[in-house]
């Protein structure tokens, strides 16, 4: 990794990562041909044919003469809106994996039908974006400054001149808040949230949350660690700042918590451990970052990893540090953790 790139990633919160991200894996990720050239209550619901406005989590109100249809969004935002029936035609962020398949962050979308302006970190084809003539750009933000996620620092000003933007904050709050904000954004764009699919999805999420609450209360002795793997480093996330972990903790889940001093290098999100020290924190369940930019559990060859009690017991589950913010996609995250806690053996 060049010093320039390392400094840039640090300025952007070391990729925020919902707490933990293997930077080496991200920077080694395959590029995209398309990109190499270069409590809500704050929004106004619009009729499908009328003016549109939305007050985002930066305090910025976007106003357009009509509800936008030429939307460009970070892939996870596009996937969430898709679940609510809103079609996003242009995306940026991890859309396709190295073998051309849909990235986990693309959700149920058919990625072959999307216009992709950048598939990896720090790539965004501005000329192609301009030709697309976007009406609005939608993303998330992982910091208090409202920095648009996956919009490159070097080209952010040019991108901002081409279309207004709106952001949903996923920084230092519980999962339910950005879920509500995405729901409100979808509604403003014309989603029918009284439809049975949307209503049932929300009920399903609430039921899964109650199941996790009960599981955590019944098994307080079960210790859970949130991790992420890169070639040289294992990252252990603290619960502060990450929307999923903050919510799971509020529901009673007993997490490994690295001290603040140990998370300093990771911008307060995570502690970096060498693979030799991966056993620093005892854990009964390990939740592993499921993003394509990280090494997945089945591909970890380190002997120290294989010796961990939770690994030997088969008590490793997936975690989505950048969850798709629809109730439909977040429900399985709650259910998976609840089931793991219910069935876990005390091994740490």
- pLDDT tens profile 174-203: 999 999 999 999 999 999 999 999 999 999
pLDDT at 34: 41
- pLDDT tens profile 125-161: 999 999 999 999 999 999 999 999 999 999 999 999 9
Q: Which residue has better confidence, 112 or 12? A: 112
- Going by pLDDT thresholds of 50, 70 and 90, the confidence category of residue 16 is very low
pLDDT at 139: 98
What is the average pLDDT value for the chain, to the nearest integer?
Answer: 89
Tell me the C-alpha distance between 108 and 114, whole Å.
12
Say if residue 301's pLDDT is above 90: yes
- pLDDT tens profile 223-253: 999 999 999 999 999 999 999 999 999 999 9
Find the mean pLDDT for residues 208-226.
98
pLDDT at 6: 34
Q: List beta partners, residue 255.
A: 224
pLDDT at 70: 97
pLDDT at 50: 81
- pLDDT tens profile 17-39: 434 344 333 333 333 434 333 33
């Amino acid at each position: 990794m060049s010093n320039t790139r390392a400094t840039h990633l640090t300025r952007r919160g070391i990729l925020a990562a919902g707490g933990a991200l293997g930077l080496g894996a991200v920077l080694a990720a395959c590029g995209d041909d398309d990109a190499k050239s270069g409590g809500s209550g704050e929004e106004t619901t619009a009729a499908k044919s009328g003016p549109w406005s939305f007050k985002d989590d930066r305090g910025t109100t976007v106003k357009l003469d009509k509800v936008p249809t030429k939307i460009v969004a970070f892939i996870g935002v596009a996937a969430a809106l898709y679940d609510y029936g809103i079609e996003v035609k242009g995306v940026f962020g991890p859309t396709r994996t190295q073998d051309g398949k849909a990235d986990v962050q693309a959700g149920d979308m058919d990625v072959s039908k999307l216009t992709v302006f950048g598939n990896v970190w720090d790539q965004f084809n501005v000329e192609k974006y301009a030709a697309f003539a976007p009406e609005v750009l939608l993303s998330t933000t992982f910091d208090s400054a409202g920095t648009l996620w996956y919009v490159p620092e070097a080209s952010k000003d040019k991108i901002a001149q081409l279309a207004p933007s709106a952001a949903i904050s996923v920084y230092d709050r519980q999962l339910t808040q950005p879920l509500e904000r995405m729901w409100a954004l979808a509604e403003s764009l014309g989603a029918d949230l009284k439809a049975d699919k949307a209503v049932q999805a929300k009920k399903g999420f609430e039921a899964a949350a109650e199941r996790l609450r009960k599981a955590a209360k019944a098994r307080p002795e079960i210790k859970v660690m949130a991790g992420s793997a890169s070639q040289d480093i294992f990252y252990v996330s603290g619960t502060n700042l990450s929307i999923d972990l903050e919510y799971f903790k509020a529901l009673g889940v007993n997490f490994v918590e690295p001290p603040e001093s140990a998370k300093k290098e990771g911008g307060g999100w995570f502690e970096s451990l060498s693979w030799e020290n991966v056993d620093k924190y005892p854990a009964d369940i390990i939740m592993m970052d499921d993003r394509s930019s990280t090494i997945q559990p089945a591909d970890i060859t380190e002997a120290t990893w294989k010796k961990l009690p939770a690994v030997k017991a088969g008590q490793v589950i997936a975690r989505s540090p950048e969850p798709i913010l629809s109730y439909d996609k977040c429900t399985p995250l709650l259910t998976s953790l609840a089931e793991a806690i219910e069935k876990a053996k005390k091994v740490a």
